[in-house]
Structure 1
């Protein structure tokens, strides 16, 4: 069936933006003349990342409620919500979408609420094992839920849920095909690294993770102390994705560190945000990561030996639940946030030296992959529109 007009709303983090773009790409693949527009929150990451991917976006003046109820920032929430509801109505009248898709994040709420009240078909793609507050509020209003993980019946009506897995970016999907994946040497060169020794990709998510950043600094300081006494080198290279908000601080630290450890620092690339995640994954021999829903889905597909460090700063400890979906298969190692600063180096070294363990982990990771999630989600959209 031909789809002509679609609105996709949400964002705030890469974990919401990337699945939105993957769904949009699959819709375009089937409907080359479709008009897809995004709706995000003014000042948030999606306002830059979506246009960079080739799609147009409108912004709403909206933000979340601070956990501290008496926070002064909450005083403006009511005004922002009313403003966003009004603008959402205008956008629906202007673009006349056949379907409105929400991927989570502040901007999803007003648009999907107004669309559901107008009788426009609505669908939520929920990435996590524990839904965010926006999607929980919308649970009684939308027509369909496409779930990244099982068990969402606790929050959404069972009859509207389809478990699809999480949609992945086209460039990441290519990594599952040896004929399409870039050679490790080319991927390493993109990050100005050689491929003669293992590469460890350490990522704290699009916003970064303070504990992981401290863990990287600690392991570098350890190798620097060895270097002074034995003239040894770090046994692997590091792609260090520290997060945009921590980039200035950590790049400055690495620059100062390199003054006395020039050769060691050459094995480390510190980056705030990585646009070419496919190349980072392709370059890596081992990955240490937060356990966001999209990271879990991508790591399963990429099938590189994995250390997961769930964030303790998320609702209902859902990153630990996400991580256990791989750990219980033997597909990853779990390190708590409290342990990571002191134990990451040891875990990396142990895993790099365990050839058999890494091979078993890769097999288990591949068994957990859901490479066709985008296709299944657009199938659900088409069925919804045929009703």
Structure 2
């Protein structure tokens, strides 16, 4: 019997890539499953989902604007409109189940599905649940989570610890360290730091690295630096005198190569980044983005720091603390090995398949 499933959500790569991984896993288990994505118009899912080979419908929806309260005047109207649109999509597609991965479009679709008695599943990626998911969790059949202690937010009897889905090119990568270094024109035999701030880059991390570039050369340590678009030209100019040791990229598509090249990773603490770092088992210094909803990045990172699986520098302290934390970690082989081991124990390489099985299970 053919199953029809809606996957709703998006807004950032952190929501979209796991959603696509779940869709691919569903297709692997039941190839004739029909999947429809629902996203927010104007957001990156409208481009990324069709590239992955799936159909997507867009809702006119925006989130609560924390920085400009005036922009929230139309929000109740937009929510009402998107709820009506969500109902129409569900009536037309007639799904057997609805999956919410977080992001703007998740709420209207799951809310409408729950009112229409269609089974729903939430994939909560963070260690601190957002407001929408807390409301939706009351009526969801299952809630797949990536961290322990989530009964603070959801009914304990419906929680399943699955971890967050990670792209196949990372879970199944066979690239060697030598190939990875060669790919980025980095030398073998030197310690390498991989700095990454999410797909748009991280201003605080980028600005803190600029004054340290000469130190990298002096200590004979290499830096592979994904800056994101806004900071790329600045970084390129700053790194020009140190080109032997510093390689600047606006965006890196082959993340498995980048992780393999690095001995230590400097990163934001989004759910997807953490899931990937657990799989590649890298010592990591987190600089959580402090303006994420409910400061969930700090909460995500602390979950690892408390298990001695990562270090944390606050966003406003990275300029003063990065040098000592980073270079002392690179000298401390025992701590690096301990962090590698501990972060590896938190990996969930089969999260996509585990979640897909739960989705199929709620339709019985």
TM over 0.5: yes
Give distance in 1, aligned partners of 2:58 and 2:192. Answer: 39
Deviations 1:159-201 (A, max 9, x none): 22212221222122124xxxxx211233334434444423211
Indicate if the aligned counterparts of 2:239 and 2:248 stay in contact, CA closer than 8 A: no
Structure 2 counterparts to residues 91-240 of structure 1, below 5 A: 91-175=89-173, 181-220=174-213, 222-223=214-215, 235-240=220-225
Structure 2 counterparts to residues 251-290 of structure 1, below 5 A: 251-258=232-239, 261=241, 264-290=242-268
User: Which 5+ residue runs of structure 1 have no aligned equivalent?
Assistant: 176-180, 225-231
Give distance in 2, aligned partners of 1:218 and 1:28. Answer: 48
Change (3 A) 1:362 1:342: same
Give distance in 2, aligned partners of 1:361 and 1:29. Answer: 34
1:57 aligns with 2:35: no
- Any runs of at least 4 consecutive aligned residues in structure 1 with deviations exceeding 4 A, and if so which? none
Q: Which residue of 2 aligns with 1:26?
A: 25
Deviations 1:101-128 (A, max 9, x none): 0000110011111111122111110011
Give distance in 1, aligned partners of 2:232 and 2:200. Answer: 15
User: Which 5+ residue runs of structure 2 have no aligned equivalent?
Assistant: none
Indicate if the aligned counterparts of 2:22 and 2:165 stay in contact, CA closer than 8 A: yes
Structure 2 counterparts to residues 265-344 of structure 1, below 5 A: 265-344=243-322
Give distance in 1, aligned partners of 2:362 and 2:165. Answer: 18
Q: CA RMSD in A?
A: 2.2
Q: Which residue of 2 aligns with 1:9?
A: 8
Give distance in 2, aligned partners of 1:37 and 1:234. Answer: 52
Q: Which residue of 2 aligns with 1:354?
A: 332
Shift of residue 325, structure 1, vs aligned partner? 2.1
Give distance in 2, aligned partners of 1:307 and 1:43. Answer: 33
Change (3 A) 1:195 1:61: farther
Change (3 A) 1:257 1:315: closer
Shift of residue 142, structure 1, vs aligned partner? 2.2
Q: Which residue of 2 aligns with 1:72?
A: 70
Give distance in 1, aligned partners of 2:186 and 2:331. Answer: 21
Give distance in 2, aligned partners of 1:309 and 1:171. Answer: 25
Q: Which residue of 1 aligns with 2:80?
A: 82
Which shows bigger deviation, 186-195 or 286-295? 186-195
Shift of residue 79, structure 1, vs aligned partner? 2.8
Shift of residue 314, structure 1, vs aligned partner? 3.0
Change (3 A) 1:278 1:339: same
Deviations 1:230-260 (A, max 9, x none): xx556233222233xxx14x2221333355x
1:373 aligns with 2:351: yes
Change (3 A) 1:84 1:315: closer
The alignment of Structure 1 onto Structure 2 pairs a total of residues equal to 364
Q: Which residue of 1 aligns with 2:363?
A: 385
Which shows bigger deviation, 266-275 or 332-341? 266-275
TM-score scaled by length of structure 1:
0.87
Indicate if the aligned counterparts of 1:202 and 1:288 stay in contact, CA closer than 8 A: yes
Give distance in 1, aligned partners of 2:221 and 2:344. Answer: 25
Q: Which residue of 2 aligns with 1:228?
A: none
TM-score scaled by length of structure 2:
0.92
Deviations 1:52-99 (A, max 9, x none): 32322221110101225x723112212322322222122212322211
Deviations 1:4-39 (A, max 9, x none): 321111111122112112211111111222222211
Give distance in 2, aligned partners of 1:85 and 1:258. Answer: 49
Provide the secondary structure at the position in 2 that maps to 1:270.
Answer: strand
Which shows bigger deviation, 7-16 or 346-355? 346-355
Shift of residue 146, structure 1, vs aligned partner? 0.8
Shift of residue 211, structure 1, vs aligned partner? 0.8
